[in-house]
């Protein structure tokens, strides 16, 4: 299919698509738009960064056409507020010449403004499951007119514990509706749950599940400890021409803050921002917008930003920590190499994280190329506390694979006990300083 004109979309949509700079539809768009326009339920699986959002937004806008009544006719569910905002942004982009009304609902701030927007009437709701249910139960949303139900990043919603909320939402929406489900990864659990609301869906699997985009070049550095990771990161970032727009992913808020403060000292506050769950909503939005606009070079983030963050021309993604939820690796590295652009994903791996790298390689069905730490990078000695934490983690991993494994710490503890027993003198005897038996003293 050569262009978007082949889908026979209306003139208003065609103009908006052209102004947004979209020329050639991606593979998921080519395969999904036609069956959605035909009214079929669709389950779409495609690499992150291949245009899944446009694949369901464009045909949905075509079928909704114009504002009608006060009650919503389409509901799009998203696991995170960042992704919900991204979807709403796409809808605004493509509906520039339509009079469709969209309301964005998410938690983390008071519902007053959102209630006021709903009261004015809307055609499309983009929401996180929790906030949607809250406002529905308070009587602010009437679902009787819903014609579309879309679940984006369905696997993440299951991982985040939204299963019960999804089932509750399915109970309150009309049975007669069109259902669309999209994700980059699709586990067996999601397939089973999808069976609850997808009626004989058209399954579109553009690539095998959990396949990284071909436009992303991957690299792995085996790094012994945290300080050496920082040294290696700083060394690579010296090439500011190649490394011009970077996301650094960390597994915890504490590590993200530490990396942020380190980079802030090196490159200045105007070059670096950090986002994680403890940051206020406005702070997160402002940081993401500043990164999108190219005002900052480095964005440090936890996995709160691994999905739905659509920023063009991200040159590099760093996995400062290997993700424990291995599917998140695909979503993290999908922040670069988007929309036919090339990108690089670099992963730092300490000895305890090798376990997860092996699992990631099985998931993506390919080996990640390993590179040596450059000679210019100073390799720090692992301090005692971090060394113990790594050893404990490796023990826990071995115990997961083999429940009978007692662990190095267990063996060490028992060895110490055995040694202490061996050193104790026989009962009723004692020894003198020269090692010869001594007479027992009377009480």
Q: Quick one: pLDDT band at residue 367, thresholds 50, 70, 90?
A: very high
Taking the C-alpha atoms of residue 56 and residue 40, their distance in angstroms, rounded to an integer, is 12
More confident residue, 338 or 123: 123
Q: What is the pLDDT of residues 184-194, one digit of tens each?
A: 776 776 777 77
DSSP state of 355: H
- What average pLDDT does range 195-220 have in this prediction? 80
Domains of the chain: 4-205 (3.40.50.300), 216-396 (3.40.50.300)
C-alpha distances (whole Å) from 125 to each of 135, 170, 264 are: 12, 15, 38
- Rounded to the nearest angstrom, the gap between the alpha carbon of residue 237 and the centroid of all alpha carbons in its chain is 23
Which residues does residue 348 pair with via DSSP β-bridges, in sequence order? 221
Please check the confidence at residue 435 and state whether its pLDDT lies above 50: no
Q: Are 127 and 105 in contact (CB under 8 A)?
A: yes
Strand 74-77 relative to strand 148-152, pairing: parallel
Residue 292: CB atoms within 10 A of its CB come to: 18
Does the pTM surpass 0.75? The reply is: no
Reported as half-sphere exposure (CB side, CA atoms, 13 A), residue 259 has a value of: 31
Exposed (0-12), middle (13-18) or buried (19+): which is 120, by Cβ within 10 Å? exposed
Q: What is the pLDDT of residues 117-157, one digit of tens each?
A: 999 999 999 999 999 999 999 999 999 999 999 999 887 78
158-162, 226-230, 237-241, 426-430: segment of lowest average pLDDT: 426-430
- Continuous segment of H or E residues that includes residue 272: strand 272-275
3-state SS record for 87-113: HHHHHHHHCCCCCCCEEEECCCCCCHH
């Amino acid at each position: 299919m050569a262009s978007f004109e082949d889908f026979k979309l209306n003139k208003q949509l065609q103009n908006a698509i052209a102004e947004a700079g979209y020329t050639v539809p991606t593979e998921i768009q080519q395969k999904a738009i036609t069956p959605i326009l035909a009214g079929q339920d669709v389950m779409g699986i495609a690499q992150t960064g291949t245009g899944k959002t446009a694949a369901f937004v464009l045909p949905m806008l075509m079928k909704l056409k114009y504002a009608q009544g006060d009650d919503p006719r389409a509901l799009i569910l998203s696991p995170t507020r960042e992704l919900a905002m991204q979807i709403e942004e796409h809808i605004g982009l493509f509906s520039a010449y339509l009079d469709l009304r969209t309301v964005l609902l998410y938690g983390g701030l008071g519902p007053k403004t959102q209630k006021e927007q709903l009261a004015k009437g809307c055609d499309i709701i983009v929401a996180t499951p929790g906030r949607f249910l809250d406002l529905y139960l308070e009587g602010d949303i009437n679902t009787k007119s819903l014609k579309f139900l879309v679940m984006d990043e369905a696997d993440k919603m299951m991982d985040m514990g939204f299963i019960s909320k999804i089932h509750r939402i399915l109970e309150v929406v009309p049975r007669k509706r069109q259902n669309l489900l999209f994700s980059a990864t699709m586990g067996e659990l999601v397939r089973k749950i999808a069976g609850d609301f997808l009626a004989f869906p058209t399954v579109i699997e553009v690539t095998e599940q959990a396949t990284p985009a071909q436009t992303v070049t991957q690299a792995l550095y085996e790094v012994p400890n945290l300080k050496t990771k920082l040294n290696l990161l700083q060394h690579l970032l010296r090439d500011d021409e190649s490394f011009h727009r970077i996301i650094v992913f960390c597994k915890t808020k504490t590590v993200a803050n530490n990396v942020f403060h380190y980079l802030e000292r090196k490159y200045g506050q105007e070059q670096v921002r950090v986002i994680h769950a403890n940051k206020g909503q406005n702070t997160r939005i402002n940081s993401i917008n500043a990164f999108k606009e190219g005002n900052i070079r480095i964005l440090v983030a936890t996995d709160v930003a691994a999905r739905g963050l659509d920023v063009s021309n991200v040159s590099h993604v760093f996995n400062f920590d290997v993700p424990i939820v291995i599917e998140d690796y695909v979503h993290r590295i999908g922040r670069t190499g988007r929309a036919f652009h090339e990108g690089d994903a670099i992963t730092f791996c300490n000895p305890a994280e090798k376990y997860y790298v092996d699992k990631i390689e099985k998931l993506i069905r390919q080996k990640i190329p390993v590179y040596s730490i450059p000679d210019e990078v100073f390799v720090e000695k692992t301090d005692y506390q971090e060394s113990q934490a790594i050893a404990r983690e490796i023990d826990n991993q071995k115990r997961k694979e083999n429940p009978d494994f007692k662990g190095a710490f267990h063996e060490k503890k028992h060895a110490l006990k055995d040694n202490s027993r061996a050193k104790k003198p026989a009962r009723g005897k004692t020894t003198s300083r020269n090692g010869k038996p001594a007479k027992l003293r009377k009480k």
